[in-house]
């Protein structure tokens, strides 16, 4: 792994340095989504914002996305034929919460209608397709949970988590144990997700499994618009690369940010980081 002149690079096993992210205990989260049209196999999440409320913005770093060459094989409890036992799978790591700053241009709710795939590589055949292709894929994103005393918006990532995608004939369950915020600046944010996707039947028996490493970069694209660019590398159950796909999509803001009810753990996190001046005042 190297870090030179602000460039972050991936090692052989896909470990990337994280910038200004912090982890705190939290309850596990389960997210359920209904598959509409064609699902883009990526998950959107912003990064840690470089400027604290009332602080001074540092010069933005430059980041280079380099995928892992291989991943570790999936564990026996996630192989075909096993029962997907969510409680046991999530118990492998301590419950963790990553608080991060959400840039003003990202805070709120967003609607997506389609995405454009710009690159596809099959590692088994060597075939490469760089012809742009448009796919319908409706979806929404929501960024931001808490508001600090000086007006800064914050969100969090909870680990472990399981996201559930339900279609007519299949149920996909994605196990997340190693998600992270890896880059932040005023201009863009980047997140990395590594997850195991299992397709299960109605009895929760695993029928197929593969792994994904996804980098998603977000940046403003004009008034009320946001652009995300995804680079997704698929690995088989043994950790060998299968394919690489790159795409982009444009989101439209459908609602402004509205803070949720105050979360005491947010105030605890701010105090633990020496940011007492940002702790919201409670009535």
CA distance linking residue 270 with residue 280, whole number of Å: 10
Q: Do residues 244 and 119 lie in contact, with contact meaning Cβ atoms separated by under 8 Å?
A: yes
Phi and psi at 95, nearest 5°, equal -60, 130
Higher pLDDT, 62 or 259: 259
CA distance linking residue 229 with residue 231, whole number of Å: 7
What's the token pair of residue 82? 């096993």
32 — pLDDT class (breaks 50, 70, 90): very low
Q: What's the rounded mean pLDDT across residues 191-215?
A: 95
CA distance linking residue 8 with residue 180, whole number of Å: 14
Query: Reduced to 3 states, what is the DSSP secondary structure of residue 201?
Result: coil
- Give the sign of the dihedral formed by CA 98, CA 39, CA 228, CA 244: positive
What's the token pair of residue 210? 């593969």
What's the token pair of residue 55? 């602080």
Phi and psi at 151, nearest 5°, equal 95, 5
Judged by average pLDDT, the poorest of 33-42, 95-104, 267-276 is: 33-42
- pTM to 2 decimal places: 0.76
- Rg of the chain on CA atoms, in Å: 19
Judged by average pLDDT, the poorest of 8-12, 122-126, 218-222, 237-241 is: 8-12
Alpha helices, DSSP H only, in 126-191? none
186: which DSSP letter?
S
- The pLDDT, as a whole number, for residue 63 is 60
Give tens-digit pLDDT for 35-73: 333 333 333 333 333 333 333 333 444 567 899 999 999
Q: What is the distance, to the nearest Å, from the Cα of residue 180 to the centroid of all Cα atoms in its chain?
A: 7
- The pLDDT, as a whole number, for residue 140 is 94
């Amino acid at each position: 792994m190297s870090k030179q002149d602000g460039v972050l690079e991936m090692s052989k096993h896909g470990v990337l340095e994280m910038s200004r992210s912090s982890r705190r205990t939290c309850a596990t989260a389960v997210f359920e989504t209904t598959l509409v049209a064609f699902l883009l196999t990526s998950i959107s999440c912003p990064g840690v914002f470089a400027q604290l409320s009332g602080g001074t913005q540092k010069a933005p770093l430059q980041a280079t996305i380099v995928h892992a060459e291989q991943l570790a094989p999936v564990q026996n409890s996630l192989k075909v034929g096993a029962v997907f036992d969510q409680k046991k799978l999530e118990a492998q790591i301590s419950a963790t919460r990553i608080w991060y700053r959400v840039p003003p241009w990202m805070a709120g709710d967003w609607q997506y209608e389609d995405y454009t795939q710009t690159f596809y590589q099959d590692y088994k055949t060597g075939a490469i397709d760089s012809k742009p292709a448009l796919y319908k894929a409706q979806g929404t994103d929501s960024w931001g949970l808490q508001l600090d005393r000086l007006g800064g918006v914050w969100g969090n990532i909870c680990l472990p988590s399981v996201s559930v995608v339900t279609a007519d004939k299949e149920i996909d369950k994605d196990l997340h144990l190693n998600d992270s915020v890896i880059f932040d600046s005023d201009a863009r944010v980047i997140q990395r997700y590594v997850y195991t996707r299992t397709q299960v039947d109605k009895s929760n028996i695993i029928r197929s499994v593969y792994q994904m490493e996804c980098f998603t970069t977000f940046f403003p694209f004009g008034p009320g618009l946001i652009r995300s660019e995804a680079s997704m590398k698929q690995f088989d159950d043994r950790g060998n690369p299968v394919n690489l796909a790159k795409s982009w999509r444009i989101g439209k803001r459908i609602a402004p940010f509205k803070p949720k009810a105050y979360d005491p753990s947010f105030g605890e996190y701010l105090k633990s980081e020496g940011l007492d001046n940002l702790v919201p005042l409670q009535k």
